[in-house]
Structure 1
Amino acid sequence: MIGLPGSGKSFFATQLQINHPQYQLISTDTIRAQLFGDEGIQGPWLRVWSQVQYQFKQAVGEGTDAIYDATNTQRRQRKEVITVAREIGFDPIFAVWVNTPLEICLQRNQNRLRQVPEEIILKMHRQLTDVPPSLSEPLDSLIVL
């Protein structure tokens, strides 16, 4: 999953998992809640990333596909996730970019209990605008909603 906070990516990921219960949903928000007691606590990224990789390996070991729910706004992050996922055994790799207009994301963010600072959303928007997701990352398929 790729998208700004408030884009609807977590909602979409959850609906996808409901429709395909054999998929394992791996969410950085859920991992943060488990590790730090609250999904809003960013905590050390390496601890979060280590748990993501553990869950990737667990899914492959169980023979299940996975949905990775995170913002993934930086190409460097996306490429790292794709590389690690392929090394662990996921193939093919599809990405869903929930490309919701910035104004809607900002509005939804205002209505959330756990708000992301506006400057962070603006920074993430610039990252996605400057270097949007593409098949060259290398993805097997890119779906833009």
Structure 2
Amino acid sequence: MIRTGSAHYEGLGKSGKGRISTQSGVLSDTPYGFNTRFENEPGTNPEELIAAAHASCFTMALSFALAGAGHTDGTLDTKAAVTLEKDGDGFTVTQSALTLTAKIPGISQSEFDTIAAGAKAHCPISKLLNAEISLDATLEA
């Protein structure tokens, strides 16, 4: 299974403006740039997209793990806070902090903690944040 996203950027540095789109069309020419990343201009940024991806992936992984353990009902609400810090002359994503609120009838705290820890470790986006990253770059004239 392959899912795609794309980005287009015109101009360079702070004056540049970009647009991102996803295969599903959920994002379609959504603006991003310096002002949407470091200021409050409407649009998105890579860190909020990673946060949404991590929160949704973890929550789905936990849902399936709970169902696999025999639980049939509940609600899960997860927030991911991705931290971007200045690192020398650039920036580094240093953390993705997941905050989960769950209501699962009939589960013990111990069982819940074990299943949630497993979902965090095995969620594909959690794995991605430590994955090898490849680059296929083309420079057009």
TM-score range, shorter chain: under 0.3
Instruction: Choose between structure 1 and 2: higher strand proportion.
Output: 2
Q: Which has the higher contact order (CA 8 A, sep 6+)?
A: 1
TM-score by length of 2: 0.22
Q: Greater CA radius of gyration, 1 or 2?
A: 2
